[in-house]
């Protein structure tokens, strides 16, 4: 049995921030809830990023829901990537039941069912705010990634982007990009211009790129590229003092992990470029929750992994925290994992030798504790329980604590279709981004230029048919002797071939 008095003294001290904080639950020791110890996270350190991991069915989604609710109470907006489609219920108040009453009786915390301000978003045509980006905003690197291009084709895309930039051709949607590729491939003026100033490009490579674009359009990605592009400042809304929970519903993106991963990197880049430096502001201005994070890392090239690592390091200074949700910590690369200050670890299951290795690796990432046998307890954590270690206000890791998590105050289920329709119909942002804007861009400009060139071209003169004098060989072959000679050659060749295969001409 652990020394409870010592446990309470040590953890109460380390989990007692002086500034603003959020509460995730109560500590546990020897299987019992210790109500004297609140497990709290300082708002000051939430932009140090984090990981929420655990096997399927251990309560990760509800933990994210509690986390987002607590941030909303503090006036901090969040963006949740809802891949499984089970997060929208946060827009409606929860209802009491025996399980919730038992949990709050153990924690001795009040339960106040309530709804939270929500905006639904989509990049694939579902109801909600239509998130779009222009091809230019995506950039050649991310666009090459989503198109599955090789190094040579990626360099061609970079040249095309440079060409459009120099020629003042805006790349808004995929039609613009296709038109430019066709212009520099088929149009004599465009082909010569590109070749003289940027180097020759093999038509086969341009054709391969065009085919990749068409394949991407067939996956439904064409509607993502266009205007109006989404303004990341719209993620920073509050209502009645609560931070808005922005839910990006991407349930049908699992078959398009490249679109998903490159969209996230594009979003990171837009946030980093547009948000001002925050310094040590005391609390974050936005928190991102990325569910099924392995979809990003499994599909990422080395260059993109480096970009993710760099972005995770830099975006903290913009007052933005990023939280990856996945099944095992090993889904996140080591260089990224080392940047994550908060770790919420639900139960892991050791069914196979590989599972047991992952458990050992996970436990090694936690601070050493005298109160728990972490390698054993991690396999026996109940639903709604987790190991937690965070950073205190001085940036020092807090002791590992077995935590009995509080329940969400909002609905622990999804919205039905009528509720989704009602929510989106009342949203000003849905109305703002609903209609596409088709400005003059590369497609219209090049189409007009090519039509003008055809109109300005001088009329072509009909060519007169001039009978040329036959050459010597042609004269001989058309003569009677020539025809006789040709017939003889054909006949003898035929006889020789038939003899080779064992057939003889019947006399």
Give 465's pLDDT tier (boundaries 50, 70, 90): very low
Q: 77-81, 302-306, 345-349, 408-412 — which is least confidently predicted? A: 302-306
CB environment 41-79: b (16+ within 10 A), e (fewer): bbbbbbbbbbbbbbbeebbbbbbbbbbbbbbbbbbbbbb
| CB proximity list for 131: less than 8 A, separation 6 or greater | 121, 122, 123, 224, 230, 248, 263, 433
Angstrom CA distances, 110 to 32, 96, 104, 447, stand at 19, 12, 7, 65
For the question of whether the overall pTM of this predicted structure is more than 0.85, the answer is no
Please write the tens of the pLDDT for every residue from 74-128: 999 999 988 877 889 999 999 989 989 999 999 999 899 999 999 999 887 788 9
Angstrom CA distances, 25 to 34, 67, 371, 386, 403, stand at 10, 11, 18, 10, 6
Do residues 237 and 272 lie in contact, with contact meaning Cβ atoms separated by under 8 Å? no
Confidence grade of residue 496 (pLDDT, cut at 50, 70, 90): low
Contact call for residues 426 and 129 (beta carbons, < 8 A): no
pLDDT tens figures, 196-249: 888 878 888 888 998 888 888 877 777 788 888 899 999 999 999 999 999 998
- Mean pLDDT computed over 295-301: 71
Are residues 315 and 358 in contact, defined by beta-carbon separation less than 8 angstroms? no
* pLDDT greater at residue 467 or residue 30: 30
Return mean pLDDT, the chain. Answer: 84
CA distance linking residue 84 with residue 66, whole number of Å? 17
């Amino acid at each position: 049995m652990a020394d409870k008095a010592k446990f309470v003294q040590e953890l109460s001290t380390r989990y007692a921030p002086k500034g603003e904080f959020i509460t995730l639950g109560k500590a546990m020791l020897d299987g019992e809830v210790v109500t004297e110890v609140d497990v709290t996270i300082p708002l000051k350190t939430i932009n140090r990023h984090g990981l929420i991991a655990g096997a399927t069915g251990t309560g990760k989604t509800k933990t994210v829901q509690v986390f987002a609710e607590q941030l909303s109470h503090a006036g901090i907006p969040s963006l949740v990537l809802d891949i499984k489609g089970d997060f929208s219920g946060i827009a409606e108040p929860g209802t009491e039941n025996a399980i919730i009453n038992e949990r709050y009786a153990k924690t001795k915390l009040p339960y106040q069912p309530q709804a939270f301000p929500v905006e639904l978003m989509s990049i694939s045509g579902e109801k909600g705010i239509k998130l779009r980006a222009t091809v230019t905003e995506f950039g050649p690197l991310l666009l090459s990634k989503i198109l599955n291009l090789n190094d040579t084709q990626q360099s061609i895309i970079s040249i095309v982007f440079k060409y459009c930039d120099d020629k003042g051709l805006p790349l808004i949607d995929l039609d613009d990009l296709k038109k430019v590729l066709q212009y520099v491939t088929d149009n004599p003026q465009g082909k010569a211009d590109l070749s003289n100033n940027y180097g020759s490009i093999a038509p086969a490579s341009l054709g391969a790129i065009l085919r990749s674009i068409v394949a991407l359009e067939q996956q439904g990605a064409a509607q993502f590229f266009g205007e109006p592009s989404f303004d990341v400042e719209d993620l920073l809304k509050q209502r009645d003092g609560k931070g808005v929970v922005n839910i990006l519903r991407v349930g049908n993106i699992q078959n398009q992990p490249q679109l998903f991963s490159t969209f996230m990197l594009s979003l990171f880049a837009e946030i980093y470029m547009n948000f001002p430096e925050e310094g040590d502001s005391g609390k974050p201005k936005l928190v991102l929750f990325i569910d099924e994070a392995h979809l990003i890392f499994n599909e990422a090239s080395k260059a993109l992994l480096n970009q993710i690592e760099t972005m995770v390091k830099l975006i903290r200074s913009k007052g933005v925290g990023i939280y990856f949700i996945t099944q095992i910590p090993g889904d996140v690369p080591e260089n990224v994992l080392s940047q994550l200050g908060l770790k919420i670890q639900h139960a892991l299951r050791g069914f196979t030798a590989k599972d047991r290795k992952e458990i050992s690796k996970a436990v090694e990432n936690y601070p050493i504790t005298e109160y728990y046998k972490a390698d054993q307890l991690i396999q026996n954590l109940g639903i709604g329980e987790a190991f937690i270690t965070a950073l205190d206000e001085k940036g020092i890791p807090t002791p590992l604590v077995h935590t009995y998590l509080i329940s969400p105050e909002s609905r622990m289920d999804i919205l039905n279709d009528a509720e989704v329709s009602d929510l989106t119909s009342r949203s000003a942002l849905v109305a703002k981004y609903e209609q596409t804007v088709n400005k003059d861009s590369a497609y219209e400009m090049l189409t007009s230029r090519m039509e003008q060139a055809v109109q300005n071209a001088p009329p072509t003169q009909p060519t007169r048919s001039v009978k040329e004098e036959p050459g010597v060989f042609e004269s001989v072959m058309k003569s009677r002797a020539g025809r006789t000679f040709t017939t003889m050659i054909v006949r003898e060749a035929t006889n020789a071939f038939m003899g080779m295969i064992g057939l003889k001409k019947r006399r």
